[in-house]
Amino acid sequence: MATLVSELDLPLLEGQRVTPSTELPQDHWLARNPFGYAVWHYDDVTAILRDKRWHSAAGRIPELMGVTDEQFLSRQRVSILSAEGDVHLRLRRLVAPAFSPRQADRLRPFMREVINGLVDNVAAAGRADFAVDICEPYPIPIICELLGAPKSDWQLFSRWANDILEIFSIDMAQKLDLIVRTQDELDAYTRELIAERRSKPADDLLTDLIAAEEEGDKLTTDELVMMVNAVIVGGTDTTRNQLGCAVGLLAEHPDQWALLAERPELAQRAVEETMRYFGAVRGTARFASTDIEYKDIVFPAGTFMSVGIAEANRDRAVFNEPEVFDITSSKGDQPQLTFGSGIHYCLGQALARAELQEALPLLARRMPNLRLDGPTEWKPEGVGIFGPAHMPITFDPGH
């Protein structure tokens, strides 16, 4: 007989999320937290992310943060990040080819150009705020290039991305006006760009998305606008913070930084290992769309579940010596989970991997002897994405 989850005697976790500072009970796989429940073992995390009855909580975050504006809430719910079932399947099918590894590879030379340009600004001084000088600006020109937006609009995109990303901040309820105004501006801009591309196709993501078709089915203009929004929300802050986490970690392992400069072919493994050991997405959340029975426990419809990705990435049952950071040796057969799992598995993973694989060895070569130059200031571990706000570094100048 399955037991109702509320009848179990479970430990209580303090934060609404499982974070590295959370004290996890060793003798449990499930705990209570202020919003509902939490899991953090690799097998439970993947089981829940792959079970379609557990729906994305992305569209529910504003509600949980106290937002009541119905127009705002309904706009969030139509995003691919929060769509479910057939609606989600159709969107994924239509847009997947535009996000293939081959499409991401086309941008690799441009990625190197952007990183080189950013290092050029600081190379002579041999010091920088890595978070501000390199991480912040890196993803924006790439997203612009990907979408086919003109270079002259980079600054505009940067501001829009920052303002829309306030949606993940702790005090997002107070920033609603700004978020809505920015989403409106971006919507208007995107509609114009779409109209332009419809009459004059180009070699970019937007043209691919306009042309995307399966058995006569196509994306509507509203869906195209939503996808551009999802690419900006999903593709900028994640990548810049992951780069900051990776370099902060490598700065504490100078031998591995030097090795990466010598052996750029280690880039792929370095990206997977830095994302396993120190991912910028620490966790995500789901809610039960119906009553769900799992491991003889019933989770009633509506149950909220925090999913501890960072903890799962250190699970001893899956990874060899998970507490040891090593870009040269395999940790096992299972993938790291910082891109998620299941139907919402990161759509931009090929692009993000390419961006990090291009950046890391190039930075290691041009910033030899990289060291932290004072304390790193980390962003708060709230509902959002984790990474450095400021990271002063020094390195041997002139490379």
Which chain residues interact with ligand HEM by CB under 6 A?
Answer: 56, 58, 80-81, 92, 230-231, 234-235, 238-239, 242, 280-281, 284, 338-340, 344, 346-348, 351-352
With contact defined as beta carbons under 8 Å apart, do 305 and 289 qualify? Answer: no
Q: How far is CA 370 from CA 8, 151, 247, 306, in A?
A: 50, 31, 9, 36
Q: How far is the CB of 356 from ligand HEM (least distance, A)?
A: 6
The total number of residues shown for the chain amounts to: 399
**What is the number of the residue whose Cβ is closest to ligand HEM?**
348
CB nearer to ligand HEM: pick between 76 and 126: 76
**Min dist. Cβ of residue 230 to ligand HEM (A):** 4
The 3-state secondary structure of 224-272, one letter per residue: HHHHHHHHHHHHCHHHHHHHHHHHHHHHCCHHHHHHHHHCHHHHHHHHH
Q: From the CB of 106, what's the least distance to ligand HEM, in Å?
A: 13
- Which run of H or of E encompasses 372? strand 371-372
Q: Of 90 and 92, which CB lies nearer to ligand HEM in the complex structure?
A: 92
Closest CB to ligand HEM among residues 11, 97: 97
CB 235, min distance to ligand HEM, A: 3
Check residue 366 and report its DSSP letter: H
Please, what is the minimum distance in Å from the beta carbon of residue 1 to ligand HEM? 32
Which residue's CB is nearer to ligand HEM, number 282 or number 395? 282
Contact 359, 138 (CB under 8 A): yes
Task: Identify which of residues 35 and 395 has a Cβ nearer to ligand HEM in the complex.
Answer: 35
Neighbouring C-beta atoms of residue 120, cutoff 10 Å: 10
For the bound state, the minimum distance from the C-beta of residue 347 to ligand HEM, rounded and expressed in Å, comes to: 4
Chain-centroid distance, C-alpha 40 = 18
From the CB of residue 337, how many other CB atoms can be counted at a distance below 10 Å?
Answer: 27
Task: CB nearer to ligand HEM: give 345 or 373.
Answer: 345
